[in-house]
Amino acid sequence: MTAVRVAWTIGFAVALSFAGAPARAQESYPTKPVRLIAPFPPGGTTDVMCRLIAQKLSGAFGRQVIVDNRPGAAGSIGHDVAAKSPPDGYTLLLTTKGGLVINPYLYKKLPFDPLHDFALISIVISAGPVLVVHPSVPARTVKELVALAKARPGQLNYGSGGVGTTAHIAGEFIQTISGIRMVHVPYKGGAVALIDLIAGQTDLQFGDMVPSVPHIRAGKVRGLAVTTVQRSNALPEIPTMAEAGIKEEFPSQWWGVAAPKGTPRPIVERINAELGKIVKAPDVRERFDGLGVFPEHTTPEKMLEIVKAEGPPMGRLLKAAGVQAQ
Protein backbone atom coordinates (compact mmCIF):
# COMPACT_ATOMS: atom_id res chain seq x y z
CA MET A 1 0.00 0.00 0.00
CA THR A 2 1.42 3.37 -0.96
CA ALA A 3 2.17 6.01 1.65
CA VAL A 4 -0.55 8.23 0.24
CA ARG A 5 -3.14 5.44 0.42
CA VAL A 6 -2.07 4.60 4.00
CA ALA A 7 -2.43 8.24 5.03
CA TRP A 8 -5.86 8.49 3.36
CA THR A 9 -7.05 5.30 5.09
CA ILE A 10 -5.87 6.49 8.50
CA GLY A 11 -7.46 9.91 7.98
CA PHE A 12 -10.77 8.36 6.96
CA ALA A 13 -10.75 6.09 10.03
CA VAL A 14 -10.02 9.05 12.32
CA ALA A 15 -12.86 11.05 10.74
CA LEU A 16 -15.25 8.19 11.30
CA SER A 17 -14.20 7.91 14.92
CA PHE A 18 -14.85 11.62 15.50
CA ALA A 19 -18.19 11.45 13.71
CA GLY A 20 -19.31 8.63 15.97
CA ALA A 21 -18.06 10.21 19.19
CA PRO A 22 -21.02 12.55 19.81
CA ALA A 23 -23.49 9.75 19.16
CA ARG A 24 -21.68 7.39 21.53
CA ALA A 25 -21.43 10.12 24.20
CA GLN A 26 -25.15 10.80 23.95
CA GLU A 27 -26.04 7.11 23.94
CA SER A 28 -24.20 6.75 27.24
CA TYR A 29 -25.77 9.91 28.73
CA PRO A 30 -25.80 10.47 31.61
CA THR A 31 -22.48 9.33 33.03
CA LYS A 32 -22.73 11.40 36.22
CA PRO A 33 -25.43 13.00 38.44
CA VAL A 34 -27.81 15.48 36.82
CA ARG A 35 -28.99 18.70 38.48
CA LEU A 36 -32.66 19.70 38.23
CA ILE A 37 -33.17 23.33 39.27
CA ALA A 38 -36.36 24.26 41.13
CA PRO A 39 -36.71 28.07 40.85
CA PHE A 40 -38.94 28.29 43.95
CA PRO A 41 -38.53 27.37 47.64
CA PRO A 42 -39.10 23.89 49.10
CA GLY A 43 -42.69 22.86 49.79
CA GLY A 44 -44.41 24.46 46.81
CA THR A 45 -45.73 22.86 43.64
CA THR A 46 -42.51 23.41 41.69
CA ASP A 47 -40.42 21.79 44.42
CA VAL A 48 -42.79 18.84 44.91
CA MET A 49 -42.99 18.21 41.17
CA CYS A 50 -39.22 18.56 40.85
CA ARG A 51 -38.65 15.87 43.44
CA LEU A 52 -41.13 13.51 41.84
CA ILE A 53 -39.63 13.98 38.37
CA ALA A 54 -36.09 13.74 39.75
CA GLN A 55 -36.91 10.43 41.43
CA LYS A 56 -38.38 8.99 38.24
CA LEU A 57 -35.58 10.29 36.02
CA SER A 58 -33.01 8.84 38.43
CA GLY A 59 -34.55 5.42 37.91
CA ALA A 60 -34.67 5.85 34.13
CA PHE A 61 -31.11 7.19 33.86
CA GLY A 62 -29.46 4.93 36.39
CA ARG A 63 -27.85 8.11 37.73
CA GLN A 64 -28.98 10.40 40.53
CA VAL A 65 -30.96 13.50 39.58
CA ILE A 66 -30.50 16.08 42.33
CA VAL A 67 -32.98 18.89 43.02
CA ASP A 68 -31.33 22.30 43.46
CA ASN A 69 -33.67 24.98 44.86
CA ARG A 70 -32.78 28.46 43.57
CA PRO A 71 -35.73 30.70 44.59
CA GLY A 72 -36.21 34.42 44.13
CA ALA A 73 -37.50 37.12 41.75
CA ALA A 74 -40.61 35.11 40.78
CA GLY A 75 -38.41 32.26 39.54
CA SER A 76 -35.99 34.44 37.56
CA ILE A 77 -32.95 33.61 39.71
CA GLY A 78 -33.27 29.89 39.06
CA HIS A 79 -33.88 30.49 35.36
CA ASP A 80 -30.76 32.67 35.15
CA VAL A 81 -28.63 29.98 36.83
CA ALA A 82 -29.90 27.39 34.35
CA ALA A 83 -29.43 29.66 31.32
CA LYS A 84 -25.78 30.28 32.23
CA SER A 85 -24.95 26.62 32.93
CA PRO A 86 -22.98 24.44 30.48
CA PRO A 87 -25.25 23.01 27.75
CA ASP A 88 -24.19 19.43 28.35
CA GLY A 89 -27.41 17.88 29.66
CA TYR A 90 -26.27 17.87 33.29
CA THR A 91 -28.29 20.95 34.27
CA LEU A 92 -32.05 20.88 33.78
CA LEU A 93 -34.72 23.33 34.90
CA LEU A 94 -38.33 22.85 35.94
CA THR A 95 -39.53 26.03 34.30
CA THR A 96 -42.99 27.55 34.56
CA LYS A 97 -45.43 29.63 32.59
CA GLY A 98 -44.53 32.41 35.02
CA GLY A 99 -40.83 32.18 34.28
CA LEU A 100 -41.06 32.10 30.49
CA VAL A 101 -44.33 33.86 29.65
CA ILE A 102 -45.16 36.24 32.50
CA ASN A 103 -41.81 37.52 33.77
CA PRO A 104 -40.88 39.24 30.47
CA TYR A 105 -43.86 41.54 31.08
CA LEU A 106 -43.02 42.09 34.74
CA TYR A 107 -39.37 43.02 34.55
CA LYS A 108 -37.99 45.68 32.24
CA LYS A 109 -34.72 43.80 32.12
CA LEU A 110 -34.31 40.06 32.68
CA PRO A 111 -30.86 38.46 33.05
CA PHE A 112 -31.88 35.83 30.47
CA ASP A 113 -33.85 35.61 27.23
CA PRO A 114 -36.87 33.30 27.68
CA LEU A 115 -37.08 32.46 23.97
CA HIS A 116 -33.40 32.15 23.09
CA ASP A 117 -31.46 31.03 26.18
CA PHE A 118 -33.13 27.63 26.68
CA ALA A 119 -33.59 24.34 24.89
CA LEU A 120 -37.22 23.65 25.75
CA ILE A 121 -37.96 19.95 26.25
CA SER A 122 -41.59 19.37 27.28
CA ILE A 123 -44.48 20.72 29.31
CA VAL A 124 -45.18 18.10 31.97
CA ILE A 125 -47.86 19.47 34.31
CA SER A 126 -50.77 21.92 34.20
CA ALA A 127 -53.04 23.19 36.97
CA GLY A 128 -55.15 26.10 38.14
CA PRO A 129 -55.03 27.65 41.61
CA VAL A 130 -57.70 27.19 44.27
CA LEU A 131 -59.16 30.20 46.09
CA VAL A 132 -58.68 29.65 49.82
CA VAL A 133 -59.45 31.84 52.84
CA HIS A 134 -58.47 31.76 56.49
CA PRO A 135 -61.22 30.17 58.63
CA SER A 136 -61.75 33.49 60.41
CA VAL A 137 -62.90 35.13 57.16
CA PRO A 138 -66.73 35.20 57.28
CA ALA A 139 -67.22 34.04 53.70
CA ARG A 140 -68.12 30.53 52.62
CA THR A 141 -68.68 31.23 48.94
CA VAL A 142 -67.05 33.38 46.29
CA LYS A 143 -70.17 35.54 46.20
CA GLU A 144 -69.92 36.16 49.93
CA LEU A 145 -66.20 36.96 49.64
CA VAL A 146 -66.82 39.53 46.93
CA ALA A 147 -69.59 41.11 49.03
CA LEU A 148 -67.25 41.21 52.03
CA ALA A 149 -64.48 42.84 50.01
CA LYS A 150 -66.90 45.47 48.70
CA ALA A 151 -68.01 46.22 52.25
CA ARG A 152 -64.37 46.49 53.40
CA PRO A 153 -62.46 48.12 50.50
CA GLY A 154 -58.71 47.82 50.92
CA GLN A 155 -58.99 45.89 54.19
CA LEU A 156 -58.65 42.31 52.97
CA ASN A 157 -55.20 41.18 51.96
CA TYR A 158 -54.13 38.27 49.80
CA GLY A 159 -50.79 36.54 49.64
CA SER A 160 -48.94 35.17 46.62
CA GLY A 161 -45.64 33.58 45.72
CA GLY A 162 -44.40 36.89 44.36
CA VAL A 163 -45.20 39.64 41.88
CA GLY A 164 -46.28 38.12 38.58
CA THR A 165 -46.99 34.63 39.83
CA THR A 166 -50.29 33.05 38.84
CA ALA A 167 -51.60 33.67 42.36
CA HIS A 168 -50.84 37.38 42.07
CA ILE A 169 -52.38 37.69 38.61
CA ALA A 170 -55.50 35.80 39.71
CA GLY A 171 -55.84 38.15 42.69
CA GLU A 172 -55.60 41.20 40.46
CA PHE A 173 -57.96 39.61 37.95
CA ILE A 174 -60.76 38.98 40.45
CA GLN A 175 -60.47 42.58 41.66
CA THR A 176 -60.78 43.87 38.11
CA ILE A 177 -63.81 41.77 37.15
CA SER A 178 -65.59 42.13 40.51
CA GLY A 179 -64.89 45.79 41.24
CA ILE A 180 -63.27 45.11 44.61
CA ARG A 181 -60.06 46.39 46.16
CA MET A 182 -57.64 44.26 48.20
CA VAL A 183 -54.01 44.51 49.29
CA HIS A 184 -51.42 42.24 47.67
CA VAL A 185 -48.76 40.71 49.96
CA PRO A 186 -45.97 39.05 47.91
CA TYR A 187 -43.77 36.28 49.32
CA LYS A 188 -40.79 34.34 47.98
CA GLY A 189 -42.97 31.36 47.16
CA GLY A 190 -46.54 30.14 47.27
CA ALA A 191 -45.84 27.66 50.07
CA VAL A 192 -44.37 30.46 52.20
CA ALA A 193 -47.46 32.59 51.56
CA LEU A 194 -49.66 29.67 52.55
CA ILE A 195 -47.90 29.38 55.91
CA ASP A 196 -48.81 32.99 56.72
CA LEU A 197 -52.38 32.42 55.55
CA ILE A 198 -52.72 29.47 57.92
CA ALA A 199 -51.29 31.64 60.69
CA GLY A 200 -53.89 34.34 59.99
CA GLN A 201 -51.39 36.91 58.73
CA THR A 202 -53.28 37.17 55.44
CA ASP A 203 -56.95 36.68 54.61
CA LEU A 204 -56.94 34.75 51.36
CA GLN A 205 -54.85 33.35 48.56
CA PHE A 206 -55.11 31.80 45.12
CA GLY A 207 -53.04 28.88 46.25
CA ASP A 208 -51.27 26.23 44.22
CA MET A 209 -53.17 22.97 44.47
CA VAL A 210 -50.25 20.86 45.68
CA PRO A 211 -49.54 22.65 48.99
CA SER A 212 -53.15 23.78 49.48
CA VAL A 213 -55.02 20.48 49.21
CA PRO A 214 -53.81 18.89 52.48
CA HIS A 215 -54.51 22.08 54.45
CA ILE A 216 -58.01 22.34 52.98
CA ARG A 217 -58.66 18.73 53.97
CA ALA A 218 -57.32 19.43 57.46
CA GLY A 219 -59.56 22.49 57.87
CA LYS A 220 -56.65 24.89 58.28
CA VAL A 221 -57.92 26.93 55.33
CA ARG A 222 -61.31 26.99 53.59
CA GLY A 223 -61.52 26.30 49.88
CA LEU A 224 -64.07 28.43 48.01
CA ALA A 225 -63.51 27.57 44.35
CA VAL A 226 -61.06 26.08 41.87
CA THR A 227 -60.15 28.15 38.82
CA THR A 228 -60.09 25.24 36.36
CA VAL A 229 -62.98 24.60 33.97
CA GLN A 230 -63.84 21.37 35.76
CA ARG A 231 -63.82 20.32 39.38
CA SER A 232 -60.67 18.76 40.75
CA ASN A 233 -60.66 15.07 41.67
CA ALA A 234 -58.50 16.07 44.63
CA LEU A 235 -61.24 18.43 45.91
CA PRO A 236 -64.48 17.19 44.34
CA GLU A 237 -66.68 19.07 46.81
CA ILE A 238 -65.28 22.49 45.87
CA PRO A 239 -67.05 24.25 42.94
CA THR A 240 -65.40 25.84 39.95
CA MET A 241 -65.35 29.61 39.61
CA ALA A 242 -68.00 29.32 36.89
CA GLU A 243 -70.23 27.33 39.22
CA ALA A 244 -69.62 29.96 41.89
CA GLY A 245 -70.95 32.66 39.57
CA ILE A 246 -67.79 34.05 37.93
CA LYS A 247 -67.80 33.10 34.26
CA GLU A 248 -64.56 34.77 33.18
CA GLU A 249 -61.65 32.42 32.48
CA PHE A 250 -58.90 32.63 35.10
CA PRO A 251 -55.21 32.34 34.23
CA SER A 252 -53.79 28.85 34.64
CA GLN A 253 -50.28 27.57 35.22
CA TRP A 254 -48.04 24.97 33.65
CA TRP A 255 -44.64 23.52 34.41
CA GLY A 256 -42.12 22.19 31.91
CA VAL A 257 -38.57 20.94 31.66
CA ALA A 258 -35.87 22.95 29.88
CA ALA A 259 -32.10 22.90 29.51
CA PRO A 260 -29.51 25.54 28.58
CA LYS A 261 -29.51 26.58 24.92
CA GLY A 262 -27.15 24.42 22.90
CA THR A 263 -27.84 21.18 24.75
CA PRO A 264 -27.35 18.44 22.10
CA ARG A 265 -30.58 17.46 20.37
CA PRO A 266 -30.15 13.71 21.06
CA ILE A 267 -29.98 14.47 24.79
CA VAL A 268 -33.07 16.68 24.56
CA GLU A 269 -34.91 13.87 22.74
CA ARG A 270 -33.80 11.30 25.31
CA ILE A 271 -35.10 13.43 28.19
CA ASN A 272 -38.32 14.19 26.31
CA ALA A 273 -38.94 10.47 25.77
CA GLU A 274 -38.33 9.68 29.44
CA LEU A 275 -40.67 12.48 30.55
CA GLY A 276 -43.36 11.05 28.28
CA LYS A 277 -43.04 7.68 29.97
CA ILE A 278 -43.07 9.27 33.43
CA VAL A 279 -46.28 11.29 33.03
CA LYS A 280 -48.06 8.27 31.52
CA ALA A 281 -47.09 5.91 34.33
CA PRO A 282 -50.16 4.81 36.37
CA ASP A 283 -48.56 5.60 39.74
CA VAL A 284 -47.61 9.11 38.58
CA ARG A 285 -51.08 9.78 37.19
CA GLU A 286 -52.58 8.62 40.49
CA ARG A 287 -50.23 10.92 42.39
CA PHE A 288 -51.04 13.85 40.11
CA ASP A 289 -54.75 13.18 40.54
CA GLY A 290 -54.41 13.33 44.32
CA LEU A 291 -52.43 16.56 44.10
CA GLY A 292 -54.91 18.25 41.80
CA VAL A 293 -52.61 18.64 38.80
CA PHE A 294 -52.86 17.29 35.25
CA PRO A 295 -50.14 15.37 33.35
CA GLU A 296 -48.92 16.84 30.06
CA HIS A 297 -46.37 15.91 27.40
CA THR A 298 -45.35 17.96 24.38
CA THR A 299 -42.63 18.06 21.78
CA PRO A 300 -39.92 20.71 22.24
CA GLU A 301 -41.37 22.56 19.24
CA LYS A 302 -44.88 22.56 20.69
CA MET A 303 -43.62 23.90 24.01
CA LEU A 304 -41.88 26.79 22.21
CA GLU A 305 -45.05 27.45 20.23
CA ILE A 306 -47.08 27.66 23.45
CA VAL A 307 -44.60 30.05 25.07
CA LYS A 308 -44.70 32.36 22.04
CA ALA A 309 -48.50 32.23 21.72
CA GLU A 310 -49.27 32.92 25.39
CA GLY A 311 -47.06 35.98 25.73
CA PRO A 312 -49.13 38.74 24.05
CA PRO A 313 -52.49 37.87 25.72
CA MET A 314 -50.73 37.65 29.08
CA GLY A 315 -49.23 41.08 28.50
CA ARG A 316 -52.69 42.48 27.81
CA LEU A 317 -54.11 40.82 30.93
CA LEU A 318 -51.34 42.24 33.12
CA LYS A 319 -51.87 45.70 31.67
CA ALA A 320 -55.63 45.50 32.28
CA ALA A 321 -54.98 44.39 35.85
CA GLY A 322 -52.67 47.35 36.41
CA VAL A 323 -49.53 45.24 36.95
CA GLN A 324 -46.55 47.40 36.02
CA ALA A 325 -43.14 46.18 34.90
CA GLN A 326 -40.46 46.75 37.52
At 48-96, the pLDDT tens digits run 999 999 999 999 999 999 999 998 887 899 999 999 999 999 999 999 9
Q: pLDDT tens-digit profile of 133-142?
A: 999 999 999 9
Residue type, 133: V
- Structure confidence by residue, pLDDT tens digits, 165-189: 889 889 999 999 999 999 999 988 8
| Preceding peptide of 186 cis, ω within 30° | no
Least confident of 31-35, 60-64, 72-76, 307-311: 72-76
- Which residues in the chain belong to E strands, given as ranges? 34-38, 65-69, 91-96, 118-127, 130-133, 157-160, 183-186, 204-207, 222-226, 253-260, 294-295
pLDDT higher than threshold 50 for residue 40: yes
CA 253 from centre of chain: 7
Percent of the chain's residues with pLDDT above 90: 67
* pLDDT at res. 193: 94
Q: Count of alpha carbons within 13 Å of 308, Cβ hemisphere only?
A: 9
pLDDT score of 322: 72
Count of other CB atoms within 10 angstroms of residue 265 = 10
Q: Which residues pair with 206 in a beta bridge?
A: 131
What is the reported pLDDT for 311? 92
